[in-house]
Amino acid sequence: MPWYDEVLAYIGFGAADEALLRALHVRISPRYPEIVDHFYEVLQRHEGARAAITDGDAQIKRLKLTLLTWLDSGMGGDHGQAYLDARLRIGRRHVEVGLASRYMFTAIDVMRRDLRSVAIDALGRDHADLVATCDAVDKLLDLELAIMMHSYERATEERLVERERGAVAEKLRTVQRLSAGLAHEVRNPLNAAQLQLQLLERRLKRTGVESALLDVTGLVGGEIRRLSALLQEFLDFARPAQLSAADADVVGIVRQVIELCTPAAAEHGIQIVLTGASRVEIECDAGKVHQIVHNLLANAVDAARTTVTLSVEQADDDGVVLRVGDDGEGISDKAMPHVFEPFFSTKPAGTGMGLAITYSLVALHAGEITAHNDGGAQLTVRLPRRPPPAAVSTSLEY
């Protein structure tokens, strides 16, 4: 990982330090149980740290074995990917049990003092490599601390993201309720007005009235159709959504959408380019994924100068990552926080429902969608290999 390489370089921890630690490990490993006992003796003096121990002596016994393994792998092993993965698991566990970060700092300090003291006893104060060995111990524990801090930072970021998603979801639910009520109240009168207008047009044509009147009814009819389309967007946003999930090739869905959108894009001189994997299969609602891709591609075509790019890649968790980008002006800093909000649009004739609906459909799959600028705007959708077992919408019926 780049951040880990940066930490290693910043601390200055390298092969020479590993060699010194291994040599020290051979000499002091018999004293590790003594160090571990002292560590937990210190821990139990502090009420806050002691609170993380929920299973009494049995848990402490297990934790002591874990700490012995930690010492053995840190002092005597290498410090590559396997070491990093193991330390990150420990960090996540510290977060899960609610161990405050201040106790992690003090715990590392206890371990630092004990290891340095044991190193001095084992090597002797006149040993040629004593200073370098103690420095290597310090570097190792600084590395351990940096990895633990990374785990805490990641947990904090995840909580902030989850809180933000919760706020967006609550806002969407509120607007969905409003949309459902509005659609219910408007749909019947609008249908009645459209029917009466059609009857009026037929009567006017039978009586042979002047074309100017028919032009007026045609204009009114066009506005009613526009309102009907807007109402349908409200219904798409507000109606209860249920996934009909099955295995589907996302690349195939994207190709279908591109085929539908290419003629309109070509009329405006926009080229659509698809890159990435040739096939990525996940369990999803193909119709809703089609709508996600169509909404994003339509927006990108509207914003592009000459080119829209799509890429589909297999994600690390066997899900899919879909990116849709354009070479337009990008999203302004002012607009960026609001792009997925209902009724927010920077287009003069936009309703602001397209990306809100897209956000809801992605969330229904337990995925995530983000926006940023990279030349132009780029929207990134991540969908898991499988949706939740019971993906039921929180929308209200209308």
pLDDT score of 133 more than 60: yes
Q: Which fold has domain 2-164?
A: Globin-like (1.10.490)
The span from the CA of 282 to the CA of 305, in Å, is 33
- Burial class of residue 151 in the structure, from the number of CB atoms within 10 Å of its CB (0-12 exposed, 13-18 middle, 19+ buried): buried
The span from the CA of 306 to the CA of 271, in Å, is 6
pLDDT band at 278 (very low <50, low <70, confident <90, very high): very high
Q: Cα–chain-centroid distance for residue 54?
A: 32
Residue 369, token pair as written in the block: 């969608």
Residue 270, token pair as written in the block: 């926009």
Q: Is the dihedral of CA 307, 312, 313, 315 positive or negative?
A: positive
Residue 64, token pair as written in the block: 């002591």
Strand-strand pairing, 307-314 and 271-276: parallel
Residue 200, token pair as written in the block: 């009026």
pLDDT score of 353 more than 80: no
49, 43 Cβ separation under 8 angstroms: yes
The whole-number pLDDT of residue 175 equals 67
The span from the CA of 304 to the CA of 269, in Å, is 10
Half-sphere exposure of 241 (CA within 13 A, CB side): 25
Residue 297, token pair as written in the block: 């591609």
Residues whose CB is less than 8 angstroms from the CB of residue 137 and which lie 6 or more positions away in sequence, other chains included: 21, 24, 112, 115, 116, 119
398 or 130, higher pLDDT: 130
The whole-number pLDDT of residue 396 equals 31
pLDDT score of 136 more than 70: yes
Mean pLDDT of the chain: 83
pLDDT band at 398 (very low <50, low <70, confident <90, very high): very low
pLDDT score of 230 more than 90: no
The span from the CA of 301 to the CA of 308, in Å, is 6
pTM exceeds 0.75 for this model: no
CATH of 246-383, one of 3.30.9.10, 3.40.50.300, 3.30.565.10, 3.40.50.1110: 3.30.565.10
Express each pLDDT in 177-218 by its tens digit: 666 666 666 777 877 888 888 888 888 777 876 677 777 788
Quote the crossing angle between the two packed helices 15-28 and 101-123, to the nearest 10°. Answer: 70
Express each pLDDT in 329-348 by its tens digit: 999 988 888 888 777 777 76
Strand-strand pairing, 246-249 and 281-284: antiparallel
224, 193 Cβ separation under 8 angstroms: yes
pLDDT score of 221 more than 90: no
| Single-letter amino acid code for the residue at 126 | D
pLDDT band at 277 (very low <50, low <70, confident <90, very high): very high
Residue 2, token pair as written in the block: 């780049």
Per cent of the chain over pLDDT 70 is 85
| Single-letter amino acid code for the residue at 244 | S
The whole-number pLDDT of residue 238 equals 61
Break the chain into its structural domains and give their ranges: 2-164, 167-238, 246-383
Give the residue-averaged pLDDT of 93-107: 76
The whole-number pLDDT of residue 237 equals 64
175 or 337, higher pLDDT: 337
SS (H, E, C) the chain: CHHHHHHHHHHCCCHHHHHHHHHHHHHHHHHHHHHHHHHHHHHCCCHHHHCCCCCHHHHHHHHHHHHHHHHHHHHHCCCCHHHHHHHHHHHHHHHHCCCCHHHHHHHHHHHHHHHHHHHHHHHCCCCCCHHHHHHHHHHHHHHHHHHHHHHHHHHHHHHHHHHHHHHHHHHHHHHHHHHHHHHHHHHHHHHHHHHHHHHHHHHHHHHCCCHHHHHHHHHHHHHHHHHHHHHHHHHHHHCCCECCCEEEEHHHHHHHHHHHHHHHHHHCCCEEEEEECCCCEEEECHHHHHHHHHHHHHHHHHHCCCEEEEEEEECCCCCEEEEEEECCCCCCCCCHHHCCCCCCCCCCCCCCCHHHHHHHHHHHCCCEEEEEEECEEEEEEEECCCCCCCCECCCCCC
